[in-house]
Structure 1
Amino acid sequence: MHVPAFRAGRVTGALLAALLVAGAVPAAGAAAAEPAPRIDLTVLVVDDGGGAVGAITSELKGSGTPYRTVRLDDPGRPVIDAAFLSEARDEATGRPRAKYQGVVLPDEAPAALTEAERSALASYERTYAIPQIDAYTWAHPGVGLDYTSDGGRSGVLDGVGTAVTAAGRAGPFRYLDGPVVFEDNDPDISESYGYAGRPRAGYTSYLDMPVDGGGRASLIGEYAHDGRRELVVTFAYNQYQRQFRALARGMVEWLTQGVHLGQSRNWFSVHVDDVFAPDARWDTARNCTPGDFDCVGGDGEGTAPIRMTAADAQYAAQWQRASGFTLDMVYNAGSGEEWKSENGGSDPLTAQLVADRAQYRWINHTYTHPFLGCVQDTSTVPWSCAKDASGNIRWMSRAEIAAQIRDNHTWAVNKGIAVDRTELVTGEHSGLRTLPQQPADNPNLAGALADTGVKWLASDNSREPQQRAVGAAKTVPRHPMNVYYNVGTAEEMTDEYNWIYTSAEDGGSGVCATNPASTCLDEPLDVRTGYAEYIVPQEARIALGHVVANDPRPHYVHQSNLAEDRLLYPVLDKVLADYRALFADNTPLVNPRQRDTGTELTRRAAWDQALAAGRVTAYRIGSTVTVKAPAGVSAPVTAPEGTRKQQLLGSTAFGTPYAGARSAWTAPELLQSAITLTLPTA
């Protein structure tokens, strides 16, 4: 049996028992070693409906790790006994079988389980060396900790800086580098509570904090006792809090001993829409954007649009080099050509961006950014779909849509810009259904995409968070960043933010009070300081929350955010700085392009369907892992460094390194019916 890297050099009684069960170490005086058991790569989750178990479940689900849930409040739930947990002999392998590789409990001894069930779990964990997570409990000797009154601490943890210990860094949290600071998003609300206790014999702390009187007390650690191992967590959390998201990977790695189905990355891509085109400007007097259908009192004539300059383009290239991060330029070539013709035939911005073309990634945004859905009737607010004399909706034609895509692509090729014709972002995500006015896709859209070779079509994650098919193409949902397209300065941004997020009584639109997904500011922000002091930290926190949640969906902003006050950079700088301060070098940000995100989402959907249909079989016997999935479905697998993938002749190194492990989407090799991995032996 493989000794995980974070256990090497520390063979406890529990681990020795595991080695004996696996047959790796023959028992003294034994006539013959017991055959190594089959251990299924599935996690048992005993759910009390609380936030802590829900958070761990979300991590398992998001990474593609199979689990079975037993709800304690379900009167028809199965009894957790020996037969539920294991089999004396597996028909397929002829070996003892453990049905779960790890157990998640609400706490160390849930009251909703009977004494017999708790005894069955303890026996199962001892027999097969199965780890257990106590999702949330308090500090007491029963979990290997002193009471908090004995030099520990209990109470609100908002804003507290905790540290991963040397044992944690050498073990399951080896991907973390800096302090894990508990969120404190609202000083008027207590967001986290916990119990920090001093370790007793058998307890190894992985995350601790300073306490009064000197020394440190633990919030997460491993308690080895009675031939069992428990990961003890003594603070409350939910799936959205950054401290949990930072620690979640390590909790799963510990639970699965570093070997499991599923994988995760920390993803971050930023699309800059409307490159070459100008964006309209927010009117701080009328609280609307001239030219918009609902902005009464002007059509935008005379209002200075927002457009990058050559100096802004030079800064963008310099910023990329300094930050080590690549932006995706989502471009409208026709809009740039129109600007050029209206300004004496010269456009320094286009010249600069084209000169620096190799420094960016480029995505087709159509030639002139038209609305590709129904013909819009703007005589009403909001607009509606225009109809013909027979009452049929009038749609942009297939030929017009294809021309917009093709002309933009051709322009880029002629300029020497590398652009992938399979990727497309339509203006305002148009062509796709837009509720409530356009409840269906433009029926001509799918054909135009096929005509032009588009396979990956951007969509708005706030409207359609799930990938879906549009003919032969698939959508790639994008997160809108709350840095508005129609502002060039910090004061304009804060003014519009105030209008949206201030109640009518305080002079705002009042939308925040009527929208259940929004909340109102206590008072309007100071337009001179509100952007830097309030909006930037909030938007960076939201974006980083997506990054650490294994979410590959790109974020999108607009070229106006790189112009004038260059509002985007403070947000990105904070995201990158906060990320790099927390994570080790072995866990770099992954910066995928649109097609790679689309492929990732497609693989996940196929994997989830296979799991839901019960068509995946995966287990471990000693140092050998076997995975069987439906033909054509790749499996996500995570394993320790040194793992080898078996081929028809010989083997190769498995996967790619990330976060101190190796992982990959993988499939059987030629002439093989299953994936076979060989784990390293210590």
Structure 2
Amino acid sequence: MKRTIRTTALTVGALIGALALPAGPAQAGTTTARIDLRVLVVSDGGPATDAIAAELDTAGTPYTKVDLTRTDRPVIDAAFLADTVDGRPRAKYQAVVLPNDNPFAAGSAEMSALAAYEQTYAIPQVDAYTYARPQVGLQVPTFGGYSGSVDGVRAQVTPAGQAGPFGYLDGAVPFEDNSPTVGESYAYLSAPAAGADFTPYVQAPVPGTTKQGSLVGEYRHDGRRELVVTFVYNQYQQQFRLLARGIVEWMTGGVHLGASRNYFAVHVDDVFAADDRWDTQLNCTPGDVDCANGAGTPNPIRMTPADVDQAIAWQNSHHFTFDLAYNGAGSVDQREDNDGVDQLADKLIADRDKFRWINHTYTHAFLGCEQNVTVVPWTCATNFDGSTKWVGLATIDYEIATNRVWGQVAGLPLETDELVTGEHSGLKILPQQPQDNPNLGLSLTVEGVKWLASDNSRDPEQRKVGPATTVSRYPMNVFYNAGRAAEQVDEYNWLYTSRAQGGSGICEDNPATTTCLPAPLDPATGYSGHIVPLETRIALGHVLSNDPKPHFIHQSNLAEDRIAYPVLNGVLDGYDALFADNTPVVNLRMKAIGAELQRRAAWKSAVQAGRVTAYRIGTTVTVQGPAGTAVPATLPTGTTLGNAAYGTAYAGAVSGWTASAGTPLSFTLPSAAVPAAHPAGTTAPTAPAPRTAVPAGVTERVSATPDS
């Protein structure tokens, strides 16, 4: 995986000709205006503005949303947009997002107010999805352009885009084409209009020609700047996810609250243990609770020393580290059955420093209610009075403490406050167990556990369990009970086809299931042709969404056919093909992920409660938040906080979290981040919008830390 940051060198002439970045705050007379660090999002209920709002939400960037479909919405006028604070002119919003270039009726006073506001304070405007026309600096598509589907099109960031707001991308912006029967993306492709001051940032080929048409570009006119987007999207589509960071950086000039990274972590459960194998005849897993009355003969799957070598080689080639969640009893049982020999454990312990390790309990026991497995699905056993029988405190303590001690004796580099229970047991699981085992929280207190894994598919929100905070993990649809591709396909067909096709009928019983199949997959090609691309796309979508939650697989998936690697390769190799070296995947261990989610939640609460004040005056950014709340900010390279350099480098900027004592934090921007701007009230209708220089490139490596 790429980690070294690439430096882009441009001549001054090429720079001026290719690029225009957001301008700094305007001057009001002789007083520098205050620009509040908040975005105005004007929505018509369409997916494009909602996608941008979702990006701001995820990053922690404050915004105000005005819904044009509501009759009780505020009127956008001069007083709504600006006022005076302590004798200084104040712009209440650092950027404006509109559903298109002019969503109001002809002659609208609101659009006039917005235009005047943008001119006065050099505020950029994003046209979230608009028709290509001269009013946005483009020719209409009927003049040598194109209107229609761009499914599967491979767009490209232009040199100006890479030197500017989209410099974190390697260049290619592939548009999704997930279904041959569904139109997923629609766009207008056209060239800049004659005489327009328009710079394309992202282009795609006009079908049937050698010409390129703009999909994203900057239009400068009348002392205003607009980012013109001419394709429709929603917040989940890959093409938007690739461009979302650049849209935000363009409209904020790289100065905004909030921080964003592309995260990926993979937990490998059941290490040292063996996983039961799917039986393709019984359509269940002998040895596990889904085979009624103990049917079938268990045929376990367990890694070998060669699988460990492969895992290390794969990690080295991808600059990535697995988190191994281990069960010590698996090795103890192996030695008892093999005259004291366990080659797998010997190999893993010898190479223990190649991985991160997590306590996964000693025997992988189920730690929720006592299970009645005489029926499928299992139920919770009950006492005489009908109350639930819970696994006791002593059992939970034994599972956690014994495994921890086993790992310490083996020299595993543990963080003893992290825990993954077997099957996330002890936590609520519907429909059988609608509440946590009350003994779990007590045990976590005794054992000093602060970070507890949960299953994102059933327990997605971070919450407290006793003294511990949950860290939700994404399950990959690479099954724990499959060591071979044919087994994976057989079980996948059973789960996701109809009863008439020999399947379980889960899709008939629950139409909301998203992985349903119209027909069974081919056993020979179904894994590589269907499951791998789908799981890759889902996981990569998480990576591109500023989502730090880890994914989890099982040791069985690194054994035999090693079926996890095609998916993992698809994610990381696919990522490297899209992103520049200055934007590496960030690979955190579980407690760091938990802390990241925790401080995001605290920051979001502070913003929603109106307890954050942030603004920019010239080269100074001032932020005040509640005491004890960490403040996230993304700022230009060269920014200082006090006398120290601020933040860590990522995607061409610096960003990070700063602890707040409740008093103002003062950041100083580099002088290059504040170009000259026209005085308030003196804009000329024909004046071009101001331009700025490209920030200096960064060359240092980026470490895998929570702030990197």
> TM over 0.5: same fold?
yes
Give the aligned partner of residue 26 of structure 2.
21
Matched, 1:283 2:275: no
In 1, the alpha carbon distance for the partners of 2:70 and 2:545 equals 29
1:378 aligned to which of 361, 373, 390: 373
Q: How does 1:141-540 map to 2 (within 5 A)?
A: 141-200=134-193, 201-211=196-206, 212-296=208-292, 298-301=294-297, 303-515=298-510, 516-540=512-536
In 2, the alpha carbon distance for the partners of 1:521 and 1:19 equals 53
Give the aligned partner of residue 651 of structure 2.
659
Instruction: Give the deviation of 1:668 after TM superposition.
Output: 4.5
Conserved in 2, the CA contact under 8 Å of 1:292 and 1:299? Answer: no
In 1, the alpha carbon distance for the partners of 2:573 and 2:273 equals 30
Conserved in 1, the CA contact under 8 Å of 2:292 and 2:376? Answer: no
In 1, the alpha carbon distance for the partners of 2:118 and 2:55 equals 22
| Greater relative contact order (CA < 8 Å, ≥ 6 in sequence) | 2
1:116 aligned to which of 109, 123, 127: 109
Q: Indicate the SS of the match to 2:178.
A: coil
Matched, 1:55 2:51: yes
- CA 1:517–1:321: 2 relative to 1, 3 Å: same
- CA 1:47–1:418: 2 relative to 1, 3 Å: same
What residue ranges of structure 2 are gaps of 5+ in the alignment? 1-8, 673-708
Q: Indicate the SS of the match to 1:203.
A: strand
Deviations 1:236-280 (A, max 9, x none): 100000010010000000111110000000000000000011111
Q: Indicate the SS of the match to 1:96.
A: strand
Conserved in 2, the CA contact under 8 Å of 1:513 and 1:519? Answer: no
In 2, the alpha carbon distance for the partners of 1:623 and 1:152 equals 42
Q: Indicate the SS of the match to 2:396.
A: helix
Q: Which amino acid aligns with 1:508?
A: G
Give the aligned partner of residue 702 of structure 2.
none
In 2, the alpha carbon distance for the partners of 1:419 and 1:280 equals 27
Conserved in 2, the CA contact under 8 Å of 1:41 and 1:261? Answer: yes
Matched, 1:675 2:665: yes
Q: Indicate the SS of the match to 1:444.
A: helix
What residue ranges of structure 1 are gaps of 5+ in the alignment? 24-32
In 2, the alpha carbon distance for the partners of 1:49 and 1:606 equals 28
CA RMSD of aligned residues (A): 2.0
Give the aligned partner of residue 92 of structure 2.
99
The two structures have a TM-score, normalised by structure 2, of: 0.90
Conserved in 2, the CA contact under 8 Å of 1:450 and 1:472? Answer: yes
Q: Indicate the SS of the match to 1:46.
A: strand
In 1, the alpha carbon distance for the partners of 2:158 and 2:653 equals 19
Instruction: Give the deviation of 1:412 after TM superposition.
Output: 1.1
Question: Which deviates more from structure 2 when the two are superposed, residues 143-152 or residues 569-578?
Answer: 143-152
Conserved in 1, the CA contact under 8 Å of 2:147 and 2:189? Answer: yes
In 2, the alpha carbon distance for the partners of 1:118 and 1:535 equals 49
In 1, the alpha carbon distance for the partners of 2:25 and 2:226 equals 20
Give the aligned partner of residue 678 of structure 2.
none
Deviations 1:316-372 (A, max 9, x none): 111111221110110000122112212332111111111110100000000010011
1:606 aligned to which of 558, 581, 602: 602
Deviations 1:418-473 (A, max 9, x none): 00001100000001111111111111111111111110000000111110001111
Q: Which amino acid aligns with 1:350?
A: A
In 2, the alpha carbon distance for the partners of 1:299 and 1:421 equals 38
Give the aligned partner of residue 27 of structure 1.
none
- CA 1:298–1:394: 2 relative to 1, 3 Å: closer
In 1, the alpha carbon distance for the partners of 2:21 and 2:590 equals 48
Give the aligned partner of residue 545 of structure 1.
541
In 1, the alpha carbon distance for the partners of 2:229 and 2:203 equals 11
In 2, the alpha carbon distance for the partners of 1:192 and 1:605 equals 33
Instruction: Give the deviation of 1:209 after TM superposition.
Output: 1.2
Matched-pair identity in %: 58
In 1, the alpha carbon distance for the partners of 2:102 and 2:509 equals 44
Matched, 1:582 2:575: no
In 1, the alpha carbon distance for the partners of 2:657 and 2:394 equals 38
Instruction: Give the deviation of 1:7 after TM superposition.
Output: 13
- CA 1:326–1:483: 2 relative to 1, 3 Å: same
Deviations 1:530-577 (A, max 9, x none): 101111111111100000000000000000000110000111111111
In 2, the alpha carbon distance for the partners of 1:279 and 1:676 equals 54
Conserved in 2, the CA contact under 8 Å of 1:72 and 1:112? Answer: no
Conserved in 1, the CA contact under 8 Å of 2:368 and 2:425? Answer: yes
In 2, the alpha carbon distance for the partners of 1:356 and 1:392 equals 47
In 1, the alpha carbon distance for the partners of 2:383 and 2:50 equals 52
Q: Indicate the SS of the match to 2:438.
A: coil
Q: Which amino acid aligns with 2:669?
A: L
- CA 1:353–1:126: 2 relative to 1, 3 Å: same
- CA 1:237–1:7: 2 relative to 1, 3 Å: farther
